[in-house]
Structure 1
Amino acid sequence: MAETNWAGNHTYRARIERVRSVEHLQEVVAAAPRVRALGSRHSFTDLTDITDADDGVLVSLVDLPTTVEVDPGTRTARVTGHAAYGDVATQLQRVGWALGNLASLPHISVAGAVATGTHGSGVENGSLATAVGSIDIVGPDGELRTVRRGDADFEGSVVALGALGVVTAVTLDVEPTYDVRQDVYTGLSWEALAAELDAITGSTYSVSLFTRWRGAGIEQVWLKSRSPEAPREPQGAVAATTALHMLEGAAVEAVTEQGGIPGPWLDRLPHFRMGFTPSRGEELQSEYLLPREHALTAIERLRSLGPRLAAVLQVSELRTVAADDHWLSSAYGHDVVGVHFTWLRDEEQVYAVLPAIEEALLPLGARPHWGKCFVADVRELDALYPRMSDFRALRDRVDPDRVFGNAFLDRVLG
């Protein structure tokens, strides 16, 4: 039976090998002319696929156990790369430890999320890659090596799109467990957002703004606080009296608890509960991250595109991410605002509107999320990543024969 990604819009074309151990993975990689790793399959394109089914293998580490080994002395945890963040978080919580941030979905794999620059939200919170202290990676010769923070190649090896090898383990920074409260408000006007954008996005530990680029403004404001005290109410917005889902008509049982009730970090920082199907399932996603100083210009341009987006857009989310030093990170060198789009699962309509979005946002320095839908190729992307040439040189040195290459990387890296 054909296997697909999570969204169901891409069918994998190459043979999938479920490895039984790291040693088995090393043998498979060393023997195959072309290899790509499958994680939780939350990419929306051919990022992890191989075009020619006879020319390689897709490796899945799903049969390997999830392990979480905490070192209290260094405040780190070594975790298996294929593990879902939700499973890692659960194991950390049991022993009194926590991660500093999580993405909206707890179902995504650690290695895949890190490799694509995936993030949560918060003006002082970097992408998930910023918590990485080291990675264990199987290279094209099947050898297992470790790249650590401080090594010359580190900033080029973490957000690397799987182009340098298969990550088997990741060491993450951890901290003692903590509680978070989540408060939701509705009806934030465009005028109030423009007047207080920095104050609103910096008002709590993590902030998400949801809109459909129609009507009077931001429809929902999700504020996640590490303080037990109620956050300052955004100007003109009204506190929600019942739990809300950001998607119209979706089951509220799937979202993490709201209403200002404090609870463990892993049950509040994501938008969705680990035990439920994330989001709505049948959807496509895009996201563009641009320097914060251009956020209001981006908002105005997207508002003008609202009527064109309406037929295919389910919801859009605005979040902030702190700058980092990872060469291929969407937040490299800039504090950014991410503009996320949850689309209907209609590839024709989605790819018809993406050029207009990119025409509006890329001139502002917007970089697309590597794991989501976009149309820009190396011609546009090259200028957006100051260390792109350094990454190419690293890739040439680590994988000169392009064992981990594919059509997606050819398009975006050249």
Structure 2
Amino acid sequence: MAPSKLRLRQSEHPASSDAHHLARDKIQSLLQLAGISLDGQQPWDLQVHDARLYERVLSQGTLGLGEAYMDGWWDCQCLDQFVFRALRAGLRERVGVSAYEAWLALRGVVANLQSKARASIVGEHHYDLGNQLYRCMLDSHMTYTCGYWRTAEDLEHAQQDKLDLVCRKLDLQAGQRVLDIGCGWGSFAEFAARRYGAEVVGITISQEQAELAQRRCADLPVEIRLADYRTLDESFDHVVSLGMFEHVGWKNYRTYMQVVRRCLSDHGLFLLHTIGSNQSGVHGDPWMDKYIFPNGDLPSIAQIGKAIEPDWVMEDWHNFGADYDRTLMAWHANFEQHWEQLAVDYDLRFQRMWRYYLLSCAGAFRARKNQLWQIVLSKHGVHGGYRSLR
């Protein structure tokens, strides 16, 4: 589905009130801490088109900053560099918590935003935006998770190397049965079946993903289901989850791990590939929650640790979060390269929204505020010890 057609709001005359000048001065002093200027000459400087920006950011925080960009109130030649510098300097913490973010925190404590009844929301909002968008942005196999750039020189090889790394970490053998929780468009299922001879069951909550994955894997021992993970109760040699745990929610981490445990054979391995946060929280970024991943929630080491205790043995914990910066920049380059083709179905405001999503995330990973973890778990511990692979 394509977003509704909305026009960018035009610049208006700057307000002349004392409040406006105070807001501008405060924003300017904050930005200087990160080496960023207003209307400066560096590629990471903000070019302000609407003076209402300053008060909007101070009152609404990251939500106001992102929405103002979508509305055309400001631009930046290198948005990723701006976000990187702002986060490294701790500017978000200096601005403080907005009323909207406080409401998100309260909502995250009181409600289970990722309950079974609400599981399909993110699928409909994000993953069902249209397969053509993701075909244009991703690699040829439509792998929508972080690539592995240890030796790769381009996105295609980085994604293939990541999928192969997952299979090698599982010591995947021909004929073994694998559960892929959050299978996306079937990239891992296809790779594991074609390259390693595995039998794969993939589940997703996205109708668009399920239909395409079923077509792609029609000639392989792969079954794609439109299902919630909580419905699973059957045995598999291994379980993988690549880029889905971010949608589980902190209230459901324990349930998620219990489901995986009941589906995994006693001698099997579970590989969890997830974005991670440096600190525990109960909600995602306000702008990201509203426009990109509704009800998304990044887990921390402590939250994952609590969820797996005492039922799992942690065999390996691999962080290659810096690789997500390079992956996102490659996705952004593909998106912009194919924009003329995509503009038939998506408007200019969507372009600015999607650009802000990709580049702000790249900046966050570059600043090491977000991580990418691959965690290998076993039920009883690998006899003789697990051999870590990189």
Query: Is TM > 0.5 for Structure 1 vs Structure 2?
Result: no
Greater strand proportion: 1
Greater helix proportion: 2
